[in-house]
Structure 1
Amino acid sequence: MQMSDQKEIAADPATVYAALLSPEVLKACVPGAQEVTGTPEDGFEATVTQKVGPVKATFKGQVGLSDMVENEKLTISGEGKGGAAGFAKGGAVVTLAPSEGGTLLSYDVEAKVGGKLAQLGSRIIDGFAKKMADQFFANLQAHLGPQDPGGDGDAPGGEGNDEKKGWFSKVTGRG
């Protein structure tokens, strides 16, 4: 499977680059991520649970970073195993460029799947990959902070992730 796209992120390239290297940000942004640990130098280990068509699995895998040019480019490569569901492995070249709205992030992904996942067919896999990428970038934008000055007035001064935490604390009374 191959996929390329561009996304406009309302933050400067240095902020976006730093976010892509942070395990805490990755855990908050990768759909289904239960755990992300490690460092950009040594690589990350991740546990992600996802449902692809009728197949639901928890993938455990490693992600490495290379060809890193600060605030401009990086190459991501990884492999995850989901037991009987199969495996996924691949890589992405990510480039960042300043734009009027903040940063234009471009990516080219090449990935392979095997096991039960491969039996689902390329249309389902490709649709799932596109959905995952779109959700990741929506989460990244939300994490970097809402840039809409016409918001609801409760814009936090902290992490920019308070919208997700807000409903939980309202329901449970915990922060």
Structure 2
Amino acid sequence: MELTEQYLLPISQQRAWEALNDTAVLRAVIPGCETIEADGEHAYALSMRAAVGPVKAQFKGRMLLTDIDAPHSYTVTFEGQGGAAGFAKGSARVTLEADGESSTKLGYTANAQVGGKLAQIGSRLVDGAARKIAGEFFKRFTAHMTDATQANEAVDEAVDETVDEAPTAEHAPSGKGHKSWKAWISKS
């Protein structure tokens, strides 16, 4: 099975690169991901649940990043065992290309092989499930990064407004009935 897709991400190339190498972000956006942890240099151990047609399984596997050209590209080699459901292994070449200052074209070409019950259900179902999982990953990734960008912009705006509205020493709260500077600062 081979998948080739391209997505436009609403973030800079550097932010996309950092997010694609952040286990907390990956855990949040990989469909069915239960755990992902560093397992050596540029290697990760992961556990995830996946359904391919009638076959549902928990996969435990490993990903290894090679051919790293930060922040432009890398190759992900992966393998996973799903018990009686079978196995999956393969690789994906991921590329990032700046598209202006605040967006990035992400492209990938993935090749995968499956065995066991997964291989028995037919390549059409496996291909469809792989495309669905990849599509869901990028939908979640884009939403996560867009939300993070909006949250950062909101914090920046709040800080700018707070600085503009901060009382000067001559207008500082004082005496009974007024909040202290400490209370005012912690409220901000």
Q: Which residue of 2 aligns with 1:34?
A: 34
Q: Distance in 1 between matches of 2:123 and 2:19?
A: 31
Corresponding position: 1:107 with 2:112: no
**8 A Cα contact 1:10 1:141, kept in partner:** yes
Q: Which residue of 1 aligns with 2:89?
A: 89
* SS, match of residue 19 in structure 1: helix
1:33-65 C-alpha deviation (Å, 9 max, x unpaired): 000100682400000001111111000000000
Q: Distance in 1 between matches of 2:112 and 2:144?
A: 26
User: Which structure shows the higher helix fraction?
Assistant: 2
Q: Which residue of 1 aligns with 2:140?
A: 139
Q: 1:40 and 1:19, CA in 2 relative to 1: closer, same or farther beyond 3 A? A: farther
1:112-158 C-alpha deviation (Å, 9 max, x unpaired): 0000000110110111111111100111111112499xxxxxx5349
1:71 Cα deviation (Å)?
A: 1.1
Consecutive aligned runs of 4 or more in structure 1 exceeding 2 Å deviation: 39-42, 145-148, 155-158
- Gap runs ≥5 in structure 2: 154-188
Q: Which residue of 2 aligns with 1:161?
A: none
**8 A Cα contact 2:42 2:66, kept in partner:** no
Larger Rg: 2
**8 A Cα contact 1:96 1:105, kept in partner:** yes
- Gap runs ≥5 in structure 1: 149-154, 159-175
* SS, match of residue 141 in structure 1: helix
* SS, match of residue 71 in structure 1: coil
Q: Distance in 2 between matches of 1:147 and 1:78?
A: 28
**8 A Cα contact 1:49 1:56, kept in partner:** yes
Q: Which residue of 2 aligns with 1:9?
A: 9
Q: Which residue of 2 aligns with 1:124?
A: 125
Q: 1:39 and 1:138, CA in 2 relative to 1: closer, same or farther beyond 3 A? A: farther
* SS, match of residue 68 in structure 1: strand
Q: Distance in 2 between matches of 1:156 and 1:72?
A: 26
Q: Which residue of 2 aligns with 1:156?
A: 151
CA RMSD of aligned residues (A): 1.8
Corresponding position: 1:44 with 2:44: yes
Which amino acid in structure 2 is aligned with residue 108 of structure 1? Answer: T
1:70-113 C-alpha deviation (Å, 9 max, x unpaired): 11001000100000000000000001001146000010000000
Question: What is the identity percentage for the equivalent residue pairs of Structure 1 and Structure 2?
Answer: 39
